[in-house]
Amino acid sequence: MSIVTLKKLKKMKQAGDKITMLTAYDASFARLLDQQKIDVILVGDSLGMVMQGHDSTIPVTMDDMVYHSKMVSPECKYSLVLSDLPFMSCTSPVQAIKNATRLMQEGGAHMVKMEGGESQAENVKQLARHGVPLCAHLGLQPQSVHKLGGYFVQGRAVEIADKMIEDALLLQDAGADMVLIECVPVALANRLTQALEVPVIGIGAGRSCDGQVLVLQDMLGISKKAPRFSQDFLTGQSEGISGAVATYIDQVKTGAFPSDEQCFL
């Protein structure tokens, strides 16, 4: 059991304490993040890009997710471990239960993350019924990149924004314990954070969210192409990678990150 629990994350939202999250996919970085006391370590399917060199998360398999979760989770004494359910791994409640079980039993994850809105409500409900902590992923859903035609800001149109809020509330009612929103305008992120009782974690969603997440390689400035909402915390850092992570944590906690230039209107 990690020191950071779901109960603690919910209390942090109530107290207005910002939640910090970064991705990690191996033991060395997981240990470093845990030692810096990051609240949540996300074993994201972004590993398809930053570990495997693909141009999307689509090729990532359940075996990949279990393999990387297994490397990360033993190092996490402090941080809660959240692992992604990859492309097409939860198309029915039976499949979602089977794959969430793998991430938790074999991978050691404390919580699982699933992309999708209304269409995932039944899967979320069944996982919640079986005691699986779950984070929903709304806004830009990278597993749908080919359907979307690229990585774009989501929810600028009023009807899409309203539908996102409706879906988020539906997923919360179904039992989601946290909601991650990716690439949404600040006003919508604000509405979602206010409307939901569960913590809302943003990436490219402005500073009003209850917490922030970044891909580790983006914030270390070593990914092929970092998105505009990210920041290189390593360049110019005298304390190296640990210092970059500590600065990220501090800037999220104080609200210095993200800046206005790193947000979408």
Segment 174-193, which members bind ligand KIV (CB under 6 A)? 180, 182
Does residue number 46 form part of the binding site for ligand KIV (CB under 6 A)? yes
The residue among 150 and 158 lying less far from ligand KIV, judged by its C-beta, is: 150
Smallest distance, ligand KIV to C-beta of residue 113, A: 7
With CA atoms as reference, report the closest residue to 141 among 124, 120, 111.
120
Does residue number 220 form part of the binding site for ligand KIV (CB under 6 A)? no
Alpha helices in 16-107 (DSSP H): 27-35, 47-50, 62-72, 93-105
Catalytic-residue membership of 182 = yes
Per the CB < 8 A criterion, the answer to whether 112 and 84 are in contact is yes
Q: Considering 182, 197, 239, 261, which one is annotated as catalytic?
A: 182
**Tokens 């074993």 correspond to what residue?**
43
Q: How many residues does the chain have?
A: 265
Does residue number 23 form part of the binding site for ligand KIV (CB under 6 A)? yes
Helices (H) and strands (E) counted in the chain, each on its own, are 11, 8
Segment 64-93, which members bind ligand KIV (CB under 6 A)? 84
- Residue range at the interface with ligand KIV (CB under 6 A); choices 3-11, 39-47, 72-80, 89-97: 39-47
Does residue number 136 form part of the binding site for ligand KIV (CB under 6 A)? no
Per the CB < 8 A criterion, the answer to whether 41 and 35 are in contact is no
Q: What DSSP state is assigned to residue 34? A: H
- Residue range at the interface with ligand KIV (CB under 6 A); choices 3-11, 41-49, 224-232, 242-250: 41-49
The residue among 161 and 179 lying less far from ligand KIV, judged by its C-beta, is: 179
Q: Which two tokens stand for residue 221?
A: 């400035």
- Centroid of chain to Cα 176: 13
Q: What x/- string results for residues 191 through 210 when contact with ligand KIV is judged by CB under 6 A?
A: ------------x-------
Among all residues, which ones are annotated catalytic? 182
What are the residues binding ligand KIV (CB under 6 A)? 23, 42, 44-46, 84, 180, 182, 203, 213, 215
